[in-house]
Amino acid sequence: MVAVPTPTESADPENGDLARGTTLTIHDLSHHFQLHGQPLRVLDRISFRVGRGEFVALLGPSGCGKSTLLRLVAGLDFPSTGSLLTDGKPVEGPNPSRVVVFQDPTLYPWRTVWGNVALGPEARGLLHTHRERIKDALRLVGLEGFANAYPHQLSGGMSQRAALARALVNDPMLLILDEPLGQLDSLTRITMQSELVSLWQRAGFTALLVTHDVEEALFLAGRVIVLSERPAHIKAEILNALPYPRHRGDPHLVELRHEVFSHLGLDANW
Amino acid sequence: MAFGSLARSAARSLIGGLSAAAAWSAAAALTALWPDRPESDWAYTSDFAVICGALAVALALAAFAGVRFAVLQRLQRLSPWLLALALFLAAWEAVTAKLGMLPLPFFPPPQAIVEVVIDDWERLAAGIFASARLLASGYFLGAAAGFAIGVAIGWSRLAGYWIHPVLRFIGPLPATAWLPLAFFVFPSSFSASIFLIALATGFPVTVLTWSGVAGVSSTYYDVARTLGANQRFLVLKVAIPAAMPHVFVGLFMGLGNSFAVLVVAEMLGVKAGLGWYLQWAQGWAAYANMYAALLIMAFLCSGLITLLFRLRDRLLAWQRGLVRW
């Protein structure tokens, strides 16, 4: 398995269990863009903490600034004010221990599936030692037969799997998922959700998922953070202690869903 | 059903091949049996007839072999063209050597061109070699420089600031406008011509490489950066591969430009090459030589473009819907 830690790697000084993910602490984070010379406030004093190996979903209406928050966590942009810490250290730029799976698969069309998955090891000069891992990652997402295919030959679901393998091959400590299943058809989506859960359980990374799909958030995450419209601030935090594997029809999920909808101001329909 | 369609395609290939062969034998017969006009002295009339006849025999053989070997049935696609070509040559032969309807020396018969190729091949070969050397030097220099400059402008703001105005000001100037200057600044007309060809090639390559690099989706960079890529990786493994489709458009346009400048430079400065041969032949009113040189140039230029497209098809196999050549 690609992401299962070897004993030396999993050394977690605190509890030594399988969870090898990082912690994420966001403190009083605000961010704005310059739009036509005017500051556009996107994030408004956001604070939360994600524990080691936790699966947290950020839920909010589209355009509320969720993706911006993820870019900040990934180190692709820097916040206007406030701080972001992973394992107690400030985020100072992109780092392969925090890998993003984007909304679009964004595979490089000029590389084969194998070449795309090999991107991270290659960028860090580790290609020669990571060949077996790349193979494992492809097997993990069920694409071992498509190593030599080009992205234009893949379906949407397969592309997103390849993007997932490209992230997992780096053994991320924090997997940042930016609506990774948003563009898939509903059947593929349901399958991929279950696969995501089992991957997360096996690998033990910390997962931060952005989505606007309430059911997806509740099915996957142990905690759902509900964001307001732009500028986003935290409206509610909903703990979902339901054990995995979960069932979509579980009455507790239905209850939680109602609670989430009420936070989003949509409870009239339920 | 499958057998029927197989037999039908074999039959069609046979009929197509044989009609092309018949057309070439007709051209051969017309050339050999119909005497040239009495006052003309075309030395290679019979040779031209033999060439047409040999082609007819080869086509007939290929057509019969095609019944057994399916590979040869692909020639069937060419049959209509081969037939039309034979008819064209026969008509040309008739109105020039046989009937004398077109004025000489401007419209020589086909055997005159055969004569040039056979008698003057040394000079033609020397011309091809000289042109190829000049074109290759200029084109590769220009393409390499254009590519490097294009990547620099597309990637670095500083390079863009300094190079872009120069490019905007000088780039649109036709390379041939530099000709008078180049011929006295450079030590030899050969080096001057290399410079001009490189200039003509370099401009489109630069602009298209630049637009290719500048147009790379920023999410490609985001992906690589989160995976631990440094600047070097972003340029070499992300920006350049993503820009390659544009680069090839630039290389294609540059190749066309380089042909034009090559011929002009050879006509005006370098006393060698096919362009010079054209000019020289025209000076002597040797129109058959001119047509021969033109034909050879057409083959070579088309061949080079084909080569470039083949290279592109290999390198950009990941793209869908490439323009066919």
Whether the per-residue pLDDT at B324 is higher than 60: the answer is no
Q: Which residue has the tokens 């739009």?
A: A35
pLDDT score for B10: 77
Q: What is the pLDDT of residues B101-110, one digit of tens each?
A: 888 888 999 9
CATH code, domain carrying B295: 1.10.3720.10
Residue B209 lies in a domain: yes
Whether the per-residue pLDDT at A8 is higher than 60: the answer is no
Q: Which chain B residues are closer than 8 Å to A76 by Cβ?
A: 222, 225-226
Residue B93 lies in a domain: yes
CB contact under 8 A, B224 and A123: yes
**Domain identity same for B232 and B277:** yes
Examine the fold and report which residue of B108, B141, B170 is the final residue of a domain before the chain moves on.
B108
Q: How far is A160 from chain B (nearest CA, A)?
A: 14
pLDDT score for A269: 59
Query: How far is B141 from B199, CA to CA, in rounded Å?
Result: 9
**Domain identity same for B126 and B67:** no
Q: How far is B150 from chain A (nearest CA, A)?
A: 20
Examine the fold and report which residue of B55, B82, B108 is the final residue of a domain before the chain moves on.
B108
Q: How far is B216 from chain A (nearest CA, A)?
A: 11
Name the strand (E) or helix (H) holding A158. helix A156-168
Residue B323 lies in a domain: no
**Domain identity same for B158 and B307:** yes
**Domain identity same for B63 and B159:** no
Examine the fold and report which residue of B59, B79, B108 is the final residue of a domain before the chain moves on.
B108
**Domain identity same for B289 and B167:** yes
Nearest to A119 among B224, B316, B319 (CB): B224
Nearest to B227 among A109, A120, A150 (CB): A120
Single-letter code of the amino acid located at A231: P
Of A260-269, B102-111, B213-222, where does mean pLDDT reach its minimum? A260-269
Nearest by Cα to A120 from A142, A94, A141, A140: A94
Q: How far is A180 from chain B (nearest CA, A)?
A: 14
Of A184-198, B129-143, B152-166, B206-220, where does mean pLDDT reach its minimum? A184-198
**Domain identity same for B197 and B154:** yes
Nearest to B226 among A94, A108, A110 (CB): A94
Nearest to A104 among B219, B228, B241 (CB): B219
For chain A, domains (ranges, CATH) are 24-97+174-269 (3.40.50.300), 108-171 (no CATH)
Of A147-151, B10-14, B32-36, where does mean pLDDT reach its minimum? B10-14
Query: How far is A214 from A224, CA to CA, in rounded Å?
Result: 9
CB contact under 8 A, A150 and B242: no
CB contact under 8 A, A104 and B242: no
Q: Which chain A residues are closer than 8 Å to B219 by Cβ?
A: 102, 104, 106
pLDDT score for A83: 86
Residue B320 lies in a domain: no
**Domain identity same for B144 and B274:** yes
pTM comes to: 0.83
How far does Cα A184 stand from its chain's mean position? 16
Whether the per-residue pLDDT at B135 is higher than 90: the answer is yes
Contacts of B139 (CB under 8 A, 6+ apart): B197, B198, B201, B254, B255, B258
Q: What is the pLDDT of residues A84-119, one digit of tens each?
A: 888 888 888 888 888 999 888 899 999 999 999 999
Number of domains in chain B: 2
**Domain identity same for B133 and B257:** yes
**Domain identity same for B59 and B207:** no
**Residue numbers of the domain that contains B235:** 121-315
pLDDT band, residue A1 (cuts 50/70/90): very low
Residue B113 lies in a domain: no
Residue B89 lies in a domain: yes
Residue B116 lies in a domain: no
Q: Crossing angle for the helix pair B287-315 and B121-155, nearest 10 degrees?
A: 40
Tokens of B24: 């070439």
Strands, E, within chain B: which ranges?
A: none
Stronger pLDDT, A107 or B10, i.e. the higher one: A107
pLDDT score for B322: 55
Stronger pLDDT, A3 or B76, i.e. the higher one: B76
Question: Which of the residues A72, A108, A130, A208 would you substitute to probe the B interface, choosing the one with the greatest number of B C-beta atoms within 10 Å?
Answer: A108
Stronger pLDDT, A2 or A178, i.e. the higher one: A178
Cβ(A91)–Cβ(A24) under 8 Å? no
**Domain identity same for B226 and B269:** yes
Question: Which of the residues A76, A110, A122, A164 would you substitute to probe the B interface, choosing the one with the greatest number of B C-beta atoms within 10 Å?
Answer: A110
CB contact under 8 A, A109 and B222: no
- The answer to whether residue B302 neighbours chain A at the CB level (below 8 Å) is no
Q: Which chain B residues are closer than 8 Å to A105 by Cβ?
A: none
Residue B306 lies in a domain: yes
**Domain identity same for B49 and B195:** no
pLDDT score for B4: 64
> How far are the Cα atoms of A205, B18, B21 from residue B30, in angstroms, in the given order?
85, 18, 14
Assembly ipTM: 0.83
pLDDT score for B276: 93
pLDDT score for A203: 82
**Domain identity same for B131 and B58:** no
Single-letter code of the amino acid located at A12: D
Contacts of A194 (CB under 8 A, 6+ apart): A245
